[in-house]
Structure 1
């Protein structure tokens, strides 16, 4: 009985680990880009929510993901046979440094800061 329980636990852990490997997370700071290597035979590349991120295919082996709005979406890569060959979760978040948000009620103003701060626009893109 104990052996069966251990075997079941190992099998469950392997399944859980497999699902994590199938859809790793790509973190992209807002208003910045990250390169994604595409598998051989890629036909289509799609973003789940284009308000959060955008994707540009550079060639058959490379794409660039641009963080457009805060949030989580996904990237799907389809091969010549219509199969999903890659799926990645895309998380668009604030950059680690050099950006300040001023929140006044419902209005958010973004500032890009290096030696001084320059208004980067509102969070809603204005």
Structure 2
């Protein structure tokens, strides 16, 4: 029981409160200030992790994650003039510099990768994650038991085949892809005469 008028040192009270967050119920840290300050390994690691997160958030060039849909593009403005862009995994996303401060990111495949933008001196001026997600609007996926497998359709006004990774290769994906290639070849040849 505390005597009236006698106050505990502020540092000891603060360490006692913080220490109680990291101890088992009913377990009391030592009575000396030194023991109370020497908290568990967990609290030390937690503090170091917090400092690391703070340092990462304050790091120069750190930007938020960019989300883009597969087969769609997103324009991103860069504060400083850029010279080079590096994509971690080009099969997930592609990035093209339109000018020194405009970057166009296109989703190629599902997943997460990163991009790093360098200035003319090779210094990183942006470093961010790219999250590529599938289209979730107006997409219908049909699963057929047996030989049919999976097929995907884009149903904006009318349902049309829209090949996606995971569709049945022999019965859907390859025939649709062959038709698309033939159409593109025919269209390209019409312009050449």
The normalised TM-score by structure 2 is: 0.53
The CA distance in 1 between the partners of 2:96 and 2:131, in whole Å, is 17
The CA distance in 2 between the partners of 1:43 and 1:96, in whole Å, is 35
Cross-structure match for 1:110: 152
The CA distance in 1 between the partners of 2:97 and 2:83, in whole Å, is 10
The CA distance in 1 between the partners of 2:57 and 2:152, in whole Å, is 34
Distance 1:94 1:37, change over 3 A: same
Any runs of at least 4 consecutive aligned residues in structure 1 with deviations exceeding 6 A, and if so which?
8-11
The CA distance in 2 between the partners of 1:32 and 1:52, in whole Å, is 12
Q: CA shift at 1:122, angstroms?
A: 3.8
The CA distance in 1 between the partners of 2:156 and 2:70, in whole Å, is 16
Q: Gaps spanning 5+ residues in structure 2: where? A: 1-10, 19-36, 40-44, 167-172, 178-193
State which of 114, 120, 139 in structure 2 corresponds to 1:99. Answer: 139
Cα RMSD, aligned residues only: 3.0
Give the secondary-structure state (helix, strand or coil) at the position aligned to 1:51: coil
Q: Which has the higher strand share?
A: 1
The CA distance in 2 between the partners of 1:81 and 1:103, in whole Å, is 52
Q: Which has the higher helix share?
A: 2
Size of the aligned set, in residue pairs, is 125
Q: Gaps spanning 5+ residues in structure 1: where? A: none
The normalised TM-score by structure 1 is: 0.77
Q: CA shift at 1:18, angstroms?
A: 4.4
Q: CA shift at 1:82, angstroms?
A: 1.1
Which protein has the larger Cα radius of gyration, Structure 1 or Structure 2? 2
Higher relative contact order (CA 8 A, sep 6+): 1
State which of 148, 157, 161 in structure 2 corresponds to 1:119. Answer: 161
